[in-house]
Structure 1
């Protein structure tokens, strides 16, 4: 990827500083990061002396005209292109991208940041919808009309038309292109143009907006998207609306200066790794085995207050009985043994599921498994196996996800 002075690439847990290092923050950029950290309580980075340090969140964060790509990294031997491909492959595998959408196959997925991919896919999806014809819906509207049609609103008629009795304040039904789906798409299109990101796409977005039917502005929150119900007529809108939701809910306008808007498309790498391993196992589990994620069980009940629960990342069952539990950790422990805390947590999961075999799943430099046993002093007469699985994450000409799926299957099944 061609270097851009307004685009930096870092790895998780790395830091950026003012006037220090190859990729420097300006005083204004640091101030913007400090402002949004204070006002929004962002979990994506922490403040350090004259700089910021990223954590386990990966993705893209844009502040003002600066775009920072944060990549995962589980070894020291691979560079940006490798880990960018890994991240995009993992997101595709877990459903954070829509590989089945009509527009997905045209994307240059190996040479784009996540933000570039989302914005290009969004523009392509909206263009596709416009080309096939935007749908119309019925909606109720109120107006002061010279024709009496629909329902006469007596209260407003008396208030507004006492003098002009030739007017009628009515409520009636119209069938047009102004409805929630289009309002969401219009808001997202306008937001992308406002923040000025993806300069190579801005003219394309402006053209789409010019041809898009004018919509009433709406206030965006999580509950707005809960109102959407797709049917046969509107199903083709789902990919575009899903991306619009990501853009709008992660956009944080600069209300003070208006020049340092923030768009943060960041994902918890621990959660992404867990979901990825879960999906890989579910796709490759032999007949008779059921793989479930985040199965809660009561762990401790106080005399008053809420019950504490225990929740292993992955439980494998046969005939409705647990046969193995897994806990995923996105960290490369190299040749070292797992930490005491990780082993204690795994033991608790195993113990609470009748001492079934348990495994810690880490990324690693190579595919490797390490077996072990919990002491009889803890588990009684029957020793319980507790192991470590290290998985090398692949990407390239072959689908890295399929390679990893095969590795998991070979070790566990």
Structure 2
């Protein structure tokens, strides 16, 4: 069973809530499992991705700002997608567009850089995220198989009727005192049994329990046959430690990156619960930050430096100890060593609200960045995703002082490679952009 919900949406096992609150229906078993996960989370954990709530008498589970796939022990998976902010499209189109947008943004996030760049066909097929990731792993393995699996010299020990390699004297004396026609030896054999192949084989076996798409199931069976002579990992951790991808193994990079994610529970974020079901969840704040940084790095002029997650400044010093580290998302350093501080926020601004819907906490945070990194002089930028009602910079700056100004600007998230910061000619950033 597959259910799709947008971030901050609701899940329920009560059909009545689907009409009254537009919650998405899941089975009671899945609801009870996710409820346990939510209640077992540490209350001090600011990154809780599920919360139990009640509205109009209905008990609900609200998903937070994490997107991806939630699994339950019942076999159900719940797809959580980011909101796009487009109000002019119908529900089905919104799902397709959001899924495609997320896949594009994930290309800029760590190991998921192997997500294929053209997702249009996948989106048109209405393929759920889980099947998209499985498909891309299988396709990368299929390309590897067509080009040929790599073998390697593997150390073997055996009691043979002929001598080869190195004689193991202690074992020879212990085992062959009577059988003097045999030799206990250690030798190297050129085999397909190597860590890289074992990891891929083990990941293929794991996917049997997850894919429901006929095309994925068919290709999975074919690839399992291709790896029939490769044993599974006895220890995944040990094989990862022994893994070596030399210059002649470029074709292995994508399959191994996917295999590691699959074997690590399929996720950068593990689910908590007694059944230990898998998850595939991404904090949208981190996804958006990585995406903006990657795009911006390619659009800045060559003589400036872009730093992510700078951490050289602290808010206070207490008893000669620095405390409360300040970590702006992005810092641009110009040739004269002056800086511009930028921070990303994954939030759809509502400009009709008072104070333009910018949180007071965010302003305090930017004030601290401006004084500690810029010594109270310069320009700092808050970056939010562009959407229907926020598609150009807020006209006037927020002035902390005559010398320290905050600008609020949108970033165009686009699957057509037109993604960019939307800035005015008056912004200091304008002179640092290539176009």
Distance in 2, Cα, partners of 1:385 & 1:226: 49
Counterpart for residue 33 of structure 1: 34
Distance in 2, Cα, partners of 1:392 & 1:106: 18
Change (3 A) 1:11 1:337: closer
Instruction: Give the number of the structure with larger relative contact order, counting CA–CA contacts within 8 Å between residues 6 or more apart.
Output: 1
Superposed displacement of residue 269, structure 1: 0.3
CA contact (8 A) 2:165 2:185 kept: yes
CA contact (8 A) 1:107 1:120 kept: no
CA contact (8 A) 1:107 1:117 kept: no
Distance in 1, Cα, partners of 2:345 & 2:102: 16
Within the candidate set 116, 122, 128, 1:109 is matched to: 122
Task: Kindly report which structure 2 residues correspond to 1:105-184, keeping only aligned pairs within 5 A, or say none.
Answer: 108-111=121-124, 112-160=127-175, 164=179, 166-184=181-199
- Asked whether 1:53 is paired with 2:95, we answer no
Shifted more, 337-346 versus 209-218: the winner is 209-218
Structure 1: gaps (5+ residues): 1-5, 377-381
- Asked whether 1:325 is paired with 2:341, we answer yes
Counterpart for residue 12 of structure 2: 17
Distance in 2, Cα, partners of 1:387 & 1:193: 50
Change (3 A) 1:196 1:31: farther
Structure 2: gaps (5+ residues): 19-23, 431-435
Change (3 A) 1:303 1:367: same
SS state of the match for residue 321, structure 1? Answer: coil
Superposed displacement of residue 110, structure 1: 2.4
Within the candidate set 392, 416, 422, 1:407 is matched to: 422
Change (3 A) 1:262 1:327: same
SS state of the match for residue 369, structure 1? Answer: coil
SS state of the match for residue 243, structure 1? Answer: helix
Within the candidate set 361, 372, 390, 1:341 is matched to: 361
Shifted more, 309-318 versus 32-41: the winner is 32-41
Alignment length (residue pairs): 391
Within the candidate set 209, 213, 217, 2:233 is matched to: 217
Counterpart for residue 384 of structure 2: 362
What is the TM-score when the length of structure 2 is the normalising length?
0.79
Superposed displacement of residue 218, structure 1: 3.1
Distance in 2, Cα, partners of 1:192 & 1:137: 26
Superposed displacement of residue 211, structure 1: 2.2
Change (3 A) 1:24 1:375: closer
Q: Which digits, 9 at most, give the CA deviation of each residue in 1:131-152, with x for residues without a partner? A: 1211111121222333332233
- Asked whether 1:67 is paired with 2:77, we answer yes
Within the candidate set 187, 211, 222, 1:207 is matched to: 222
Distance in 1, Cα, partners of 2:412 & 2:146: 43
Q: Which digits, 9 at most, give the CA deviation of each residue in 1:75-114, with x for residues without a partner? A: 2615212211221221235562436x7xx66982323333
CA RMSD of aligned residues (A): 3.2
CA contact (8 A) 2:384 2:411 kept: yes
Distance in 1, Cα, partners of 2:344 & 2:39: 31
Distance in 2, Cα, partners of 1:408 & 1:239: 36
Counterpart for residue 312 of structure 1: 328
